[in-house]
Amino acid sequence: MFALADCNNFFVSCERVFRPDLNGKPVIVLSNNDGCAVARSNEAKALGIKMGAPFFKIKDIVRKNGVTVFSGNMALYSDMSRRVKSVLRASAPAMEVYSIDEAFLNLEGMDIDFDRYAKELSARCFRWTGIPVSVGVAPTKTLAKIASKLCKQYPKLKGGCYMHRLQDIEKVLRKFPVDDVWGIGRKTFAKLQSMNVVTAWDYASLSQSQVNRLFGLPGLNTWKELNGIPTIEFEDAVRSKQSISNTRSFSKEITDVEALCEQVALFATMTAEKLRQQGSVCYELAVFAMTNRFKEYVRQSISNDIVFFRTPTSSTSEIVASAVKSVRQFFRADCAYKRAGVTALKIVPESSVMPMLFDDADAREKDKGLMKVLDQVNAVYGRGTIRMGICSDKVSSNSALRSPQYSTLPSDFPVVKG
């Protein structure tokens, strides 16, 4: 058996932990640069605010209904996620972190009342972290996902749903929209609609060969999982990232090459830090900057460059220098840049790297020591305390509606008055 624990309206729930006055009221959290609604309370969903809706398009609804709006506060959400995960980890033999607000649990070998287990786990998460969590238990990951969605739909399930008997699964799948199934996206759904496949049960009832022919291996895996055959691996260990990106939209378009370099240097810095965090180095760095794609009557441009390192690196100084060099090369004075970013590719473990014959090993060792100190200082005194001279101290993004870093920044800690 697998469990899927999924935090309800996660970013909104994080805000509500420190703002209980917002319970029962419409709340949304915006994406970077206050662009889109990426989390909505049930009340906000009921007002018709869609996932990913551009903020400027829903301002009327927001104003008329007194919706509380937050800029994204990833420091808070990451910390709350860590807390929920620690409760989950202690409640099962193995956990696979799937996203910031979801984790699978492997319940293999446990001989217990799973329905009670699911409900108790949900209650424990809420009691210990303040975050409402939906726990679905089923024989495959895909079915566990469906079970957890049922919890959100039916409050009487009290946050936990165990689904295993064939007749129960059939009953659920017959009512479950196929486009809500994990792995069925927009394109596949369009095809399915033309075939009159509407529910998860319809999909599970197609012939295996037809599914294989039309939807390939991913579609076949989903089909098997719906039919109770586990095909999606449970991954206990945390895998290193194969690519690491840092990209942002800017609050105002950038037309000055120095200003763009400062921003890209910051993205490069964040990328290098993430590489070192997972003990990796990269052979390639992709850098891009682009104009505002929504402005139809403006000159559009996407500038790209890829840098190759002969000896793979995670050094901030080396990665920043390369990224800035790329920007200076492709920068066009006749373009207004709205978005830019940096991606590390061809990532390998640092321990696997063979030294190059003509590489300056001494300089490399020295730089490694420098990075270690830099990481230690920034860990204690905050990101960006020590940084490259060219690197901006903050992203040029809108975030005026951001809540305090209640749980990670001492000066923002809530104060209990006696």
Three-state SS at 249: strand
List interacting residues with DNA (CB under 7 A): 31-33, 35-36, 38, 52, 54-56, 59, 98-102, 145, 181-189, 216-218, 239, 241-249, 274, 292, 294-295, 338-339, 341, 343, 397
Q: How far is the CB of 216 from DNA (least distance, A)?
A: 3
280-291 and 244-254: which strand pairing?
A: unpaired
Q: Are 247 and 340 in contact (CB under 8 A)?
A: yes
DSSP secondary structure letter of residue 49: P
Helix (H) or strand (E) holding 15: helix 10-18
Q: At closest approach, how far in Å is the CB of 34 from DNA?
A: 8
Which residues, in sequence order, are CB contacts of 157 under 8 Å at separation 6+?
119, 150, 151
Nearer to DNA, 156 or 186 (CB): 186
Quickly count: other Cβ atoms within 10 Å of residue 183's Cβ.
17
Q: CA 179 to CA 132: how far, in whole Å?
A: 25
Cβ at position 363, least distance to DNA in Å: 28
Residue 13: CB minimum distance to DNA, A: 13
For residue 272, what are the CA distances in angstroms to 78, 367, 371, 394? 19, 13, 10, 16
Q: Specify the residue, 160 or 341, whose C-beta has the smaller distance to DNA.
A: 341
Residue among 218 and 369 whose Cβ is closer to DNA: 218
Q: Which tokens belong to 300? A: 């559009």
The least CB distance from residue 187 to DNA, in Å, is: 3
Q: Based on CB atoms, which residue is closest to DNA, 280 or 315?
A: 280
Residue 36 beta carbon to DNA: minimum distance, rounded to whole angstroms: 5
CB of 157 or CB of 275, closer to DNA: 275
For 238, other C-beta atoms within 10 Å of its C-beta total 9
Task: Choose between 397 and 408: whose C-beta lies nearer to DNA.
Answer: 397
Specify which residues 28 forms β-bridges with: 40, 69
In 196-336, DSSP assigns E strands to 244-254, 280-291, 302-313
CB of 97 to DNA, least distance (A): 11
**How many CB atoms within 10 Å of residue 399?**
16
Smallest gap from Cβ 402 to DNA, in A, equals: 14
Please name which of 209, 227, 211, 231 lies closest in space to residue 219, comparing C-alpha atoms.
Answer: 211
Q: Which residue, 216 or 349, has its beta carbon nearer to DNA? A: 216
Which residue, 32 or 370, is less far from DNA as judged by CB? 32
Q: Distance (Å, rounded) from C-alpha 338 to C-alpha 129?
A: 38
Taking the complex as a whole, the smallest distance from the CB of residue 225 to DNA amounts, in Å, to 12
Q: Which is nearer to DNA, 124 or 346 (CB)?
A: 346
If the CB atoms of residues 166 and 354 are measured against DNA, the closer one turns out to be 354
For the four alpha carbons of 170, 175, 180 and 186, in that order, the dihedral sign comes to positive
Give the other-Cβ count within 10 Å of 76's Cβ.
24
Shortest spacing between CB 306 and DNA, in angstroms:
9
Distance (Å) of CA 392 to CA 43, 277, 328, 395, 411: 39, 21, 16, 7, 23
**Phi, psi (degrees; rounded to nearest 5) at 230:** -65, 125
